[in-house]
Amino acid sequence: MKEGTGISLILGERGASEHLTSLNVPRSVDVSLTGRCQLRCAWCWGPKHNLKEPVVETQWRDLIIKLSTDGSEHIIFTGGEPLMSPMLPSMLRHAKEAGLRTTLSTNAILLRQRQEVLQDVDDLGISIDGSGPTMNDMMRERSARYDAWGKAVDGINFAQSLGVPVTARTVISRKNLHDVPNIPGALVTRGVDISKLRHKLYQVEPIGPHATNIKFDDWAVTEEEATSAALAVKERHPELGVTLQLYRNTRGRYFQIDPLGNAYGTDLDMDQLPMMVHYGNIFTDYDGCINNYQEYKRSLEE
């Protein structure tokens, strides 16, 4: 918690031990079942959209069971767009049966059509980057084609009607910085109960296969600007739970598995900007991948 503000800060550099279980596997794992997505967000962390998905369902199931057995506690299904993966319902079910807490991170475009997945979701994260379609479209290429803003708002309302906990996820960039504080109010006008909503804000990061192709200066915001935007959100809506993730605090925080089984974390380069750290392939060398992760985490303590 940032003292006196009511804003929770994501702190990824407080020490390796808090992210490791007793068996030294990550407590939380991000899984990309697919790289496919309807949208083309320039700063996307996810794998390439045309990445083939040769990994079969049994491999994912066995991995989920193995991670749970070794002590992992939380699995986040992300992408790409996870609702585009036919494996998602069964993977969520396997995760719940294995005793894992589940999060689904989605653009919500297909949520109504695939609503059966919500029965196995503990927390639903829905991406929304503007107070209306125009700004959201500027942030998320091809958004207008799919009415992504409208689908996000509808998804939040739909999930709340079912009693599913929802987190609105917003990337703060140069393009939408001025509009971020307006987002919760826009949700209220569309019927969202923000007293039951969490709002997680992310300082835009130059990381991932898509972000490497953009001119980051056109998107970047400073920590002070991101923090000011988060403060403005909280000041306007004290009842809203607000979390801010600054990219310097993602160091060592993530353990993300792409559709091919490649596992990655994040570090900071010489310019103090995020970069990917490759741990190995979790399917072909589980022990080696976890060992590389452990070594990296220990290096953060030195």
HSE value, Cβ hemisphere, 13 Å, CA-based, for 171: 22
Look up residue 102 and give its two tokens: 């589940």
- Closest Cα to residue 85, out of 44, 129, 37? 37
Beta-bridged to residue 119, according to DSSP, are: none
| Whether this model's pTM surpasses 0.85 | yes
> By three-state DSSP, how is residue 247 classified?
helix
* pLDDT (0 to 100) of residue 58: 94
Q: φ and ψ at 233, to 5 degrees?
A: -60, -50
**Interhelix angle 286-299/57-70, nearest 10 degrees:** 50
All structural domains of the chain, each given as residue ranges with its CATH number in brackets, are 7-299 (3.20.20.70)
Q: Are 125 and 107 in contact (CB under 8 A)?
A: no
Q: φ and ψ at 27, to 5 degrees?
A: -65, -35
* pLDDT (0 to 100) of residue 247: 84
> By three-state DSSP, how is residue 1 classified?
coil
Question: Rounded to whole angstroms, how far apart are CA atoms 293 and 302?
Answer: 15
* pLDDT (0 to 100) of residue 4: 54
* pLDDT (0 to 100) of residue 218: 81
Type of residue numbered 287 = D
pLDDT of the chain along its 302 residues, tens only? Answer: 555 566 776 543 333 344 444 457 999 999 999 999 999 887 777 666 666 666 789 999 999 999 999 999 999 999 889 999 999 999 999 999 999 999 999 999 999 999 999 999 999 999 999 999 999 999 998 999 999 999 999 999 999 999 999 999 999 999 999 999 999 999 999 999 999 999 999 998 876 666 666 666 788 899 999 999 999 999 999 999 999 999 888 888 889 999 999 999 988 888 777 788 999 999 999 999 999 999 998 888 76
* pLDDT (0 to 100) of residue 56: 85
- Closest Cα to residue 201, out of 217, 225, 165, 236? 225
Question: Rounded to whole angstroms, how far apart are CA atoms 65 and 72?
Answer: 10
State the CB neighbour count (10 A cutoff) for residue 299: 11
* pLDDT (0 to 100) of residue 149: 98
